Amino acid sequence: MNRPWMWMLALLLWGSVSVAEKNPNILFISIDDLRPELGCYGNQKIQSPHIDALASEGTVFEEAYCQVPVCGASRASLMTGLYPTENRFVTYYSKAETDAKGIPDIPTWFKQQGYITISNGKIYHDRNDSADSWDKIFRSKDYKIYHLPENLALPEKRQPAFEGADVDDMAYAGGPVLQETIADLRAAKETDKPFFLAVGFTKPHLPFNAPKKYWDLYDRAAIQLAENPFVPEGAPLEAMHEWNELRNMYGGIPTQGPLSDELARTLIHGYYACVSYSDAMVGRILDELDLLGLRENTIVVLWGDHGWQLGEHTLWCKHALFRTSLRSPLIISAPGFQKKQHSQSLVEFVDIYPTLCELAGVDMPGHLDGVSLVPVLEQSDASLKEAIYGRYHSGDSIKMGSYQYTEWSSGARMLYDHTQDEDENINVVDDPAYANVVEKITKWLADFRLQREEKEPLILAAAGIKIGDNRPPVWQKRTAKLEQTGVGIPFSNYVNWLASDKDGDALVYSLDSGPEWITLANATNGLLEGTPTSEHMGENVCIISVSDGVNPPVSIRIEIDVVKQP
């Protein structure tokens, strides 16, 4: 583990990059699974005074949306500034260094501009993803930390989805990240290099474990359950899921059907407590920034990687293309810009990378898909985009004005009018009154897909991948569903029958990403093998690439349904 004094010494010895005038520092705060459940977003039930104070120093983006409503993919997309595709940034275990090989992520780009880059806590889902981007990485245990003896005595998957032990802030996941960050700020104060300091707090990610004092901030009896705990009228099956992250990983959760009101209220209580816990950690970091006199030259960005359902539409967790999963907090406070602003402009997380570049006064890399949000920081009612884009598994989702439209590869569709139905309770996609809206959005989506196909060679070129006269391998389809398997049943299937090469080149297959139970047993024949467990019930997604040794690898999305044994 690198300590602050070690990288400070390295900076004193490092003279390969000259910065004539110190660029602004960047404090980049990520909070896992944080929906806009904050005072500054109008929810006065939540105790979030420190994030609310940060909001008063900058701009709150009321209509900010993530690209993918799952952790690994959302973060990889944000950090590279690239939209997701059918084969890029798909799952919670997606990696930027795999899905966007050769593309400079935010820390790599700023490192090249003379910044010291530090990652504390959870920034990428995988600790080792794009590790070379950072001068220093710190990540202590941040998942399933329990302190109550009765919980410690239980097997892992029987431990509860919440805990409120009477311990201090350092005992749960946020404490070590806070301590490391304060030490890094103090070390940075003594250097003449600007810093890009990324700080990731995991709460309110499951389990909802936080010190008791944060639970005590809330009157349990006053906590309200979701107002729409039902499937939206006309919503397709593709829109729904079984919230297996909660069902399969924790004790006391029913394997099917809804939660009891009592359990639902406890989980919401725990979610709120975790928000307040992370809020307190943010407050202490901002206090230290002020104490050190660094705030006046520091850009502060706070974001949640995606939304979260708390019982809405019968759902818990994320993993959906409803507004509750896609809409996420984004707050930017930058020296010299307006304060106490709230903007309704449509923005998306691929816009964060170019925004940081413009605010810091550095050039932008050529691969970026987003646009700078600086015009909105200058004038909150500035409009930058007609529509924004999100994706999850086989669904594409478009937010255009007050409408949210989603379509799946199966042909299923849904449309919600947020001026009439902000909670998305009635799917109006087949209502004749909205025919013109559907026509306009579907045309935009078709144009967007075409633009993505045209830009892909440019992305490869930006990554230094050259395409020659030899033709790359071809998959029969972009997405293939293999035969389903059952929990505890050994699975074995080949994918080589799906690929061909017109030049007759020998093909080699690789497993780019997939659940841990799947392995590539034979790279020549593309043999997939493994035995799923109960936690893998539902749709499992693998990204398989095939290479001819000449051209860049070509990927396919493989879907495998895991069901209960009869």
Q: Are 431 and 469 in contact (CB under 8 A)?
A: no
Cα-flanking dihedrals φ and ψ of residue 377, to 5°?
-65, -30
Q: Which helix (H) or strand (E) holds 9?
A: helix 4-13
Q: Are 35 and 308 in contact (CB under 8 A)?
A: yes
Our measurement of the distance from residue 259's CA atom to the centroid of its chain's CA atoms, rounded to an integer in Å, reads: 26
269 given a catalytic annotation: no
Which of 71, 274, 317, 357 is flagged as catalytic?
71
Q: Are 232 and 275 in contact (CB under 8 A)?
A: no
Which of 125, 241, 269, 306 is flagged as catalytic?
125
| Dist. CA 67–CA 71, nearest whole Å | 10
| Dist. CA 447–CA 457, nearest whole Å | 17
274 given a catalytic annotation: no
Nearest CA to 529 among 562, 492, 494? 492
| Angle between helix 71-80 and helix 352-360 axes, rounded to 10 deg | 40
457: alpha, beta or left? (left if phi > 0; alpha if psi -120 to 50):
alpha
Query: In sequence order, what are the residues at sequence separation of 6 or more whose Cβ sits closer than 8 angstroms to the Cβ of residue 186?
Result: 4, 288, 292
| Dist. CA 55–CA 208, nearest whole Å | 25
Catalytic residues, which ones? 71, 125
